[in-house]
Amino acid sequence: MTALKVGLLGGSFNPAHDGHRYISQVALRLLGLDQVWWLVSPQNPLKPSGGMAEYDDRLASARCAARDPRIQISDFEKKLGQAYTAKTIAALKTHYPDHHFVWLMGADNLIQFPSWHQWEKIMQMVPVAVFNRPGYTYQALGGQAAYKYRASRLTGRHGTRFLRQLATKPAPCWAFVAETTHKLSSTTLRNFRDNAGNACS
């Protein structure tokens, strides 16, 4: 199997939207990735099940929103029968031992990262790329996770191409991607969909 550099974007995708595609395409370009896999979660452990669309509908919305052959939609977690990121990454590394994985997250997720199941294990397994989200950046970079792993942060002092080196760096290693991400959220899109119908249908 050809070794690929793969970004992992996990989430409920309730529904998937242009913001997910935007952050994926930024990751492909700036991190020099070959693919980004959207890991559609059966049920995010940190989110209530109320208001959550059926899994097949969320999977379909992801396939509709991706619109890029480099973005692959995955039901890996559903087949695995669980939704904890640490276990998912461990299983992916076993199934695809030649690939270089990078976990992709927004700055808002870095803030709550310490509440994730075995979050430190995640940091020890794969490099992490944290994407700027206006309104969250300062809190994220001053938060518990960023502080604990401050010595593992890859920055411009490591060279102008430091982001493209991230995928092949041994964990723990993380970088902040300053390029501003799309402001559209799943909540905004759900509200629009409820009033105007689903653009993917």
Residue 97 has pLDDT above 50, yes or no: yes
- Confidence check: pLDDT of 6 > 90: yes
Write out the DSSP string of the chain: ----EEEEEEE--TT--HHHHHHHHHHHHHTT-SEEEEEE-SS-TTS-STTPPPHHHHHHHHHHHH-STTEEEE-HHHHHT---HHHHHHHHHHH-TT-EEEEEEEHHHHHHGGGSTTHHHHHHHS-EEEE--TTTHHHHHTSHHHHHTGGGEE-GGG-TTHHHHGGGSPSS-EEEE-SPPP---HHHHHHHHHHH--TT-
The backbone region for 135, taken as left when phi is positive above 0, alpha when psi lies in -120 to 50, beta otherwise, is left
- The average confidence (pLDDT) of the chain is 87
**Per-residue model confidence as pLDDT tens digits over 144-187:** 999 999 999 999 887 678 999 999 999 999 999 998 655 544 44
Give the pLDDT confidence of 98-132 residue by residue, as tens digits: 999 999 999 999 999 999 999 999 999 999 999 99
pTM above 0.85, yes or no: yes
